[in-house]
Amino acid sequence: MEENFKNYEKTITKKHSISFSPKYKEEFKTSANEIIFIAVAEKAVEKLGWDIIYKDDFNIEAKRKEAGWMNERWTEIITATYKSGTISVKSESLGNEIWGCGQKL
């Protein structure tokens, strides 16, 4: 992740989730159309260093990889969906923890 994004990440209030696989979902309105939204979301995912695993005209899905002591593993997945000016963002931990506090989401 680029240094300026790491600094910005420190200013974001983290949202907590407790479950076997922590999940978080949020919706918000936008005046951008789906073409602009997907283009901006794709650029953000690339700048954060995540891997895009799926993209179409209304959805984008990416996973974050973390280096472990033996190999790399997927740690989080985020899905953003555009529908009639409403953006739905869902993040989910892919690890075995029960508490997620938005570490990299």
In the chain, pLDDT over 70 holds for what percent of residues?
74
Going by pLDDT thresholds of 50, 70 and 90, the confidence category of residue 1 is: low
Reported as a single tens digit per residue, the pLDDT across 22-72 is 678 899 999 999 999 999 999 999 988 899 999 999 999 999 887 777 777
Q: Which of 14, 24, 17 minimizes the C-alpha distance to 99?
A: 17
Per-residue pLDDT, 30: 94
Q: Model's pTM, two decimal places?
A: 0.69
Average pLDDT, the chain: 81
The DSSP result for the chain, as a single string, is --HHHHHHHTTSPP--EESSS-EEEEEEE-SS-HHHHHHHHHHHHHHHTPEEEEE-SSEEEEEEEEE-SSSEEEEEEEEEEEETTEEEEEEEE-SS-SEE--S--
Please give the residue that has the higher pLDDT: either 7 or 44. Answer: 44
Please give the residue that has the higher pLDDT: either 36 or 2. Answer: 36
